[in-house]
Amino acid sequence: MEFLFQILIILLSARVLSEVSERAGMPGILGEILAGIFLGMTVLENTDTISSVAELGVIFLLFIAGYKEVHIEDLKASSKKAIVATVFQILIAFISGFGLGYLFGLGNLESLVLAVAFSPTSIGVTVKTLLDMNYLSSKAGSMMLSSAIFDDIISIFLVSIVSTMAQHNAIPSSMQFLTMIGKLVVFIGVMFLLSHYVFSRLFGYVRKMHSRESIFATVILIALFAAYFAEAMGLHAVIGAFVGGVLLSNISVAKIEDVQSKVSGLAYGMLTPVFFVDIGMSVDPTSLGAAGIFTVLIVVFGLLGKLVGGFVGAKTVGFNFYESLIFGAGVMPRAEVTLVTISIGREMGIIGEEIFSAVVLLAAVSIFVAPILLKFAIQKDKENKNSASG
């Protein structure tokens, strides 16, 4: 009974505040996190059951990212310039995170989680602004899109490294590091072979099964299998889910529109809101105040790391000042992968309440600030180009 009430109240408040957030021009996850903070402060306490549903939420968040959003072919079409700019923006964000941790005397592993949490970009926030400003097809806009593919893959790779390190509870030796990379390669290789020789044939049989929702059920089973198999290999479940999603996206029967819509419904309608609410419920507003200057610096370094990294990267490949500023501002938003990283860090006991809450605040602020800065940079770029041509 208590569980039913908890899920009811979580899904209801997540849906209401997500709608409010969307109508205010912000992404829905901001509303879901706020719902979690509100519920955590008032009526709900975090229970094991909520955490388990939230864990399914994070697995399906990454699974659906691979299943619906990643198009491996796009990697081939991406330019070398985009690779250079991406490496710069990720590297500088990473260094700013690690450096901040080091400055405040955090342990290596704690600093590493902070560094990895600083590294990803949530391109969805940027795309909306670029569309509104009619700048998606601009030089900076196009490069941002190419950069986003590399960003996703590098960030998920970093998450897999940090989650594996967390299991050892220490920075690994070079041998452990190589073993970890080897496990990742073996995992991807086995999954690729399974997808090519087993899953594709399996769906041929499943399509003919008499039981209801056989294809949908198989997609879900493979998502869970990939997550479990990754864990069994000593990697994190979310990496498995992401790889499973990417591989399933190439099997046509698994991507029938009706099945995609059901998988989306399960993920976005039920599981991922619980994950984001759970993130919000885990935020401790009092720890934000207690951490004081550290919280402020996490937000500032988090924003500047991406802005400066993106700016320098774009400058390096020949962009002008405002185009580089557009690129830097466009890669600032953090959302899903950053939150996944800190939730893994917290779950494994690497980071404390202060860092966790401060990074959630960073994600919220970045979602709010990036579009404003991006609009300003685009406006200036337009003025600059107009004055140059006229």
Minimum Å gap between C-beta 27 and another protein is: 6
Instruction: Say if residues 162 and 98 touch (Cβ distance below 8 Å).
Output: no
For residue 138, the one-letter residue type is: S
Tally of CA atoms within 13 A in the half-sphere of 170 that contains its CB: 5
Q: Nearest to residue 161, comparing CAs of 175, 181, 189?
A: 181
Binding of another protein at residue 253 (CB under 8 A)?
A: yes
Instruction: For residues 354 and 288, give the distance between their C-alpha atoms in angstroms, rounded to a whole number.
Output: 6
Q: Which of 103-111, 207-215, 293-301, 314-322 is the region at the interface with another protein (rule: CB under 8 A)? A: 207-215
Is 131 buried (19+), middle (13-18) or exposed (0-12) by CB count in 10 A? exposed
- Distance between CA 339 and CA 113 in Å, rounded? 11
What is the closest distance, in whole angstroms, from the C-beta atom of residue 381 to another protein in the complex? 18
Judged by CB, which is closer to another protein: 228, or 268?
268
How many residues would you count in the chain?
390
Residue list 130-149, contact with another protein (CB under 8 A): 130-132, 136-137, 142, 145, 148-149
Which three-class secondary structure string do you get for 41-70?
A: HCCCCCCHHHHHHHHHHHHHHHHHHHHHHC
Would you give the binding string for another protein spanning residues 23-52, x where CB under 8 A is met? Answer: ----xx------------------------
Binding window for another protein (CB under 8 A); candidates: 6-14, 164-172, 236-244, 255-263: 255-263
* 256 is a site residue for another protein (CB under 8 A): yes
Q: Which of 4, 257, 386, 388 binds another protein (CB under 8 A)?
A: 257
Q: Which of 124, 172, 234, 352 binds another protein (CB under 8 A)?
A: 124
Name the H helices within 169-271: 174-193, 200-206, 214-232, 237-248, 257-266
Q: Is 75 in the site for another protein (CB under 8 A)?
A: no
Positions touching another protein (CB under 8 A) are 22, 27-28, 68-71, 73-74, 123-124, 127-128, 130-132, 136-137, 142, 145, 148-149, 152, 207-208, 215, 250, 252-253, 255-259, 268
